[in-house]
Chains A and B, each alone.
Chain A
Amino acid sequence: MQNKNSKYGEIQLVHRMTVIKRIIHWSFFAAIINNIITGFYIAYPFLIFGKTPTQADSLSTGILNSGETYQAFIMTWMREFHFIGAVIIDVIFFVWLYLAFFSWKEPLYKSFIPFGDKLEEAWRMLKHYFTLKDKPKTDRYQDPLNAIIFTLFHLLILLQMLTGFQMYVASFTGTSAVGAWWPWLLHFSTDWTLVVFGGLTGVTLVHLFIMWLIMIFIVYHIYIEVWRSIMWKEGDILIPFGGYKYMRNKSESE
């Protein structure tokens, strides 16, 4: 035991994610996966449900035949679930924004202050990814590189929300059941996307393209957390499950 300790250093428990944050993390994950699948269907309906006999004669054109038109409504369901997922994502975005400043345990802004130092630390972390040496010490706050990447990711989510709401409000005619303020708010906050991205078709394409960036983030995120768990032996991958990771006062290269 003594020997082990000297090799891996003292192991210490660090609390990183509260229950609320873990619930948020996994709802976010589920909602985003849901919206990627349903979004793909909306952009390009890949299955023909309720198709006619001639359209059904090959497997590639369809899997399910649900009969009459009125029984199918597959696009309705896809859009419905896309909107439900979008609402979850929107709520989570704002909760994230709140927690980034007012979280008791681990507010994200702490990872940016003082900015110069933290930027330098992020740079050192990036170097560490490629040299595997000089691992910056990670403690109870998010490390600055992750903080930057998560912030960029949430900006992508914000852009996705704005372009999505622009497409959503396009189908409004005049007012809505909750009052005139709702379409007004959506127009007010999202109409600039029409100017910037070139009309509703451009907004749609941007929405589609950002989805790919988000998918790249997901793959990167999973990879880097697994990588950290393997390389650092601090159990980073456990954070979203148990809320804890470990901290060692000695790193491998020392």
Chain B
Amino acid sequence: MASEHHSDSNDSNPNGNNPDTDFKWDPLRFISKKPDEVLKKVDDRLDALEKEYFSDKKDKEENLPNILGIYGVSRRDFLKWTAFLTSALMLPYIFKPRVARAANILTRTPFIWLDMADCMGNTEGFLRTAHPTPAEIILNYVSVNYMESIMAPAGYQAEARRTETVKKYKGKYILVVEGAIPTGMDGKFLTIGAKGDTGLKIAKETAKHAGVIIAVGNCAAYGGIPAANPNPTSAVGLSSVTDRSVINIPACPANPVNLVGTLVEYILIGKAPQLDSIGRPLWAYSGRLHDNCYRRGHFEAGEYVREWGDEGAKKQYCLYMMGCKGPFTWNNCTIAEYNQDISFPMRAGHGCIGCSQPAFWDRMTPFEKPNADAKIIIPGVEATADEFGVGLFAAAGAGIAAHAIYTGIKKKKEHKKSKNEDSEKNDDNKKE
């Protein structure tokens, strides 16, 4: 859809202007054309990882029941969730038990979560759910080696933990970065930890040896709110400061399902999922909200909410005229919903604000007015496209009217003059 974000995160991007592979979805992830071979490769990978991260068979088998048991999630609930995640990932059904195994392995994979310039809304979104789904539980129990908001060590110890993880699990650990990275003044707008290292330096160093890099939330993916105009700290997304491939999981906050799904897919196949042109996993971000919205029928029927709380709002009419940015936004909110999978903005009666698109704070505002009411960015012009257009139209009309009047007057004058000349001539004739 969009090449608006010219990130350098596209080295694994299959959409390289080729009609054969462009927009082609391969459920087998281009691993192999033969399904049996794909399954064998995935199984071999899972076996190896299980051997590495679990001490014995008992450890492996009791790990997940222990974790899920704390929250009263039964085995049955978990299996239902794996079925959901398998279909969300657009994987064939045969992958369901493998998704369960990958989720198990995921809880033991070394994991670094960096917090950069943001509100930590993603952390909050994942960790503070009242009735967590397996996705959130798994995120709670991943073996976090470094995560500022929940780790026990502090100061130099914390720093040491991070550098140690980077050294010990070179090329294996999962790096999740949350928050934009200020690059102004050598990144000094953001300093973290006892040594006062800049966020820029930490992000670069940690990203260098990571197995997979995920930018979660709009801030980490595209700069988000810290990078909104005028962007005083020159904040950018993670993909702009590292030359490695970054998987963007934007949204504000990102849906836990999208993060866990991406991690599970990484565990399964060992590489980044198929990404769109702005670095988002295709399985989650290939659908436009407007096209998948349950209110779309009312859009087509011309039935719109005109003001908050009117009859249309009660009847769940389309929020297009209340500024819904669903037509400009790609995400799977309408399918894998938020808040323990129960809702998303349109269901709650408010339009989408486009939080999974680059620069949404600048481009999607005003949030509660139709896009046609947005101010256009022309230097010295503070108006909507229509206001400016009407202004120009009126100016052109006035110019045309002025020209018409001018022509009329001038013509009349000339007419008079020529008439005078004619009559003079006539006079001459008479004289002769």
Contact = CB atoms under 8 A, between A and B. Distances in A.
Given A205-B374, A231-B407, A212 B390 contact: yes
Contacts of B389: 208-209, 211-213, 215
B24 A180 contact: yes
Contact of A195 (B6, B299, B301): B6
B301 A73 contact: yes
B403 interface: yes
Contact of A198 (B303, B354, B377, B400): B377
Contacts of A138: none
A181 B19 contact: yes
B97 interface: no
A48 B377 CA distance: 30
Interface stretch (B135-143, B320-328, B423-431): B320-328
Nearest to A195: B4
Contacts of B23: 172, 174-175, 180, 183-184
A171 B296 CA distance: 13
A100 interface: no
The interface residues of chain A, by DSSP majority, are classed as: helix
Interface in A207-232: 208-209, 211-213, 215-216, 219-220, 223, 227, 231
Contact of A215 (B290, B376, B393): B393
A159 B17 CA distance: 22
A169 B304 CA distance: 24
Interface in A70-91: 70, 72-76, 78
Nearest to A194: B4
Interface stretch (B187-195, B196-204, B358-366): B358-366
A74 B4 CA distance: 32
B359 A199 contact: yes
A52 B400 contact: no
A174 B306 contact: no
Nearest to B300: A76
Interface string A35-48: 00000000111011
A198 B310 contact: no
B411 interface: yes
A201 interface: yes
A151 interface: no
Given A72-B302, A200-B2, A208 B372 contact: yes
Interface in A28-78: 43-45, 47-55, 61, 69-70, 72-76, 78
Nearest to A202: B363
Contact of A219 (B311, B376, B385, B396): B396
B282 to A, nearest CB: 9
Contacts of B397: 219
Interface in B254-294: 277, 286-288, 290-291
A74 B407 contact: no
A170 interface: yes
B407 A227 contact: yes
A43 B302 contact: no
A55 B306 contact: yes
Of the four ranges (under 10, 10 to 19, 20 to 34, 35 or more), the interface on chain B belongs to: 35 or more
A49 to B, nearest CB: 5
A132 interface: yes
Contacts of A47: 302
Given A200-B2, A223-B404, A55 B311 contact: yes
A125 to B, nearest CB: 14
Contacts of B385: 205-206, 208-209, 212
B328 A132 contact: no
A132 B22 CA distance: 59
A117 B385 CA distance: 38
A73 B207 CA distance: 51
Contacts of A216: 392-393, 396
Contacts of B286: 173-174
Nearest to B372: A43
Contacts of B151: none
B310 A55 contact: yes
A187 interface: yes
A183 B390 CA distance: 34
A75 to B, nearest CB: 5
A213 B396 CA distance: 10
A205 B400 CA distance: 26
A106 interface: no
Nearest to A132: B410
A130 B358 CA distance: 49
A50 B374 contact: no
A78 B302 CA distance: 10
A216 to B, nearest CB: 5
| Residue with the highest number of chain B CB atoms closer than 10 Å, among A188, A191, A201, A211 | A201
15 contacts: A52-B312, A55-B312, A70-B297, A70-B301, A174-B25, A180-B23, A187-B22, A194-B2, A198-B359, A199-B328, A202-B377, A208-B389, A209-B385, A213-B389, A216-B396
Given A52-B315, A55-B306, 9 more contacts: A47-B302, A48-B304, A198-B359, A209-B376, A209-B388, A216-B393, A216-B396, A219-B396, A220-B400
